[in-house]
Structures are given as structure tokens and as C-alpha cells.
Amino acid sequence: MQGINSSEHRILLAAFRKFEHMAAISKNRIEETEDANTRKAMQELDALYDKFQILFVELKKCSEDYENKKKSTRSIINKSLRKLTPIFI
């Protein structure tokens, strides 16, 4: 799984902030639809980035829980195998 590069997102966010600043200074230089499309695209991208961050934290937690459970289960299996080994010798 390929993650989302946080630094690339911050660079894009900075570029958008620059766009917002320049658009505010030079009103009516770009069409309203282009301005609206740019703002909507950035809003959607930001929402996806936030969703990714939430899911990534959940995935890390799930992965840690899995590793802990795996160690615990391995220990239980090995303990049971040690008890059973004398029976089959």
C-alpha cells in the first residue's frame, strides 16, 4: 500500500494558499467557475487527506493489536505443545 506523502500535501496546500491570496488581490482575473473549481478540488483533496490520516491511525492501531495478539497466541500454542510433547515421545 502506498501512503500519502504529507510533505507533498503541505506543498500543495501552500500553493493553494498562495492562489487564494493572489485571487483576493487581483479580483476578476480568473473566471468564477475556474475559481470555484479550484476551491472545490482543494476542499475535496483536503477532506481525503484528513480521511486518510484517520484511517492510517486506525490501521496502525489494528496492526499493533494484531502483533500483540500474535505474540500472545504463539505463546499459548507453544505452551500447549510443550505439554503435549511428552505424550508423543
Residue 26 confidence (pLDDT): 82
pLDDT at 1 exceeding the cut of 70 = no
Calpha distance 52→47 (Å, rounded):
9
pTM of the entire predicted model: 0.73
- Segment 11-15 shows an average pLDDT of 94
Nearest to 60 by CA among 3, 9, 10: 3
Domain ranges across the chain: 6-88
- Looking at per-residue pLDDT, the higher value among 87 and 41 belongs to 41
User: Tens of pLDDT along 23-76?
Assistant: 888 877 888 899 899 999 999 999 999 999 999 999 999 999 999 999 999 999
